[in-house]
Amino acid sequence: MLHGALGDRFLTARAGLVIGPFDPLHRLGWWLDRIAAGGPVVVPDALDQPIALVDARDLAGWLVQVCGRRSGAVNATGPAGMTTLGGLLDTCREVTGGDAEWVVVPEADLLAAGVQPWQHLPLWLPADVARTAWDVDTGRARELGLPSRPVQGSVADTWAWMQTHPRPEPPPGRTLPGLPADLEERLVNR
């Protein structure tokens, strides 16, 4: 509707999954904490699921640069092929130095056990939803200069920040993500 009325005389930046230091939602942070703790870690059998991330610092700097350009709607997230869920989790293990071992659980078993996608296992979506959530065209954002720092840098910077800051308080009406310990234990011992 807005595009029909204004053409490209506006900017709507549809941010993808934003990560980086100071994240009050603690999605990446939960994985970093859990992986750093080591031992068996429940992960979905979707480790090859592509995901697209954008570092908050890249997004913020880019928005300042393009806000006056009025470029229409833009999908502002990382490029296709940026990483996979497994690649991100492996990076978390590398950055934290943890000895976590993946306990790969099929999607059907996770759902049957009551695991809530995105909430209990942050960044994981069931396959039927993931296809539409992660498969977006970011070409326009690239044309407009949206940078995409390496995932390893964003993860390392987030982990470094977490070493000197308390875990965030959840925003009003939300809880921090994470797999409850009792549910994780049941899934590990299934």
Mean pLDDT, the chain, as a whole number? 91
- Asked if the model's pLDDT at residue 62 lies above 60, the reply is yes
Mean pLDDT for 105-122 is 97
The whole-angstrom separation of Cα 122 and Cα 62 is: 26
Q: Which pLDDT value is given to residue 18?
A: 95
Cα atoms in the 13 Å half-sphere on the side-chain side of 63: 16
- Asked if the model's pLDDT at residue 56 lies above 70, the reply is yes
Q: Which pLDDT value is given to residue 8?
A: 60
Query: Considering the entire predicted model, what is its pTM?
Result: 0.91
Identify any residues that bridge with 55 across adjacent strands, giving them in sequence order. 19
Q: Where are the domains of the chain?
A: 2-188
Distances (CA, A) of 138 to 53, 66, 68, 81, 90: 11, 15, 19, 11, 25
What's the pLDDT tens digit per position in 63-101?
999 887 767 888 999 888 899 999 999 999 999 998 999
User: Which fold does the domain 2-188 belong to in CATH?
Assistant: Rossmann fold (3.40.50)
Mean pLDDT for 157-177 is 92
The whole-angstrom separation of Cα 123 and Cα 117 is: 8
Q: Which pLDDT value is given to residue 143?
A: 92
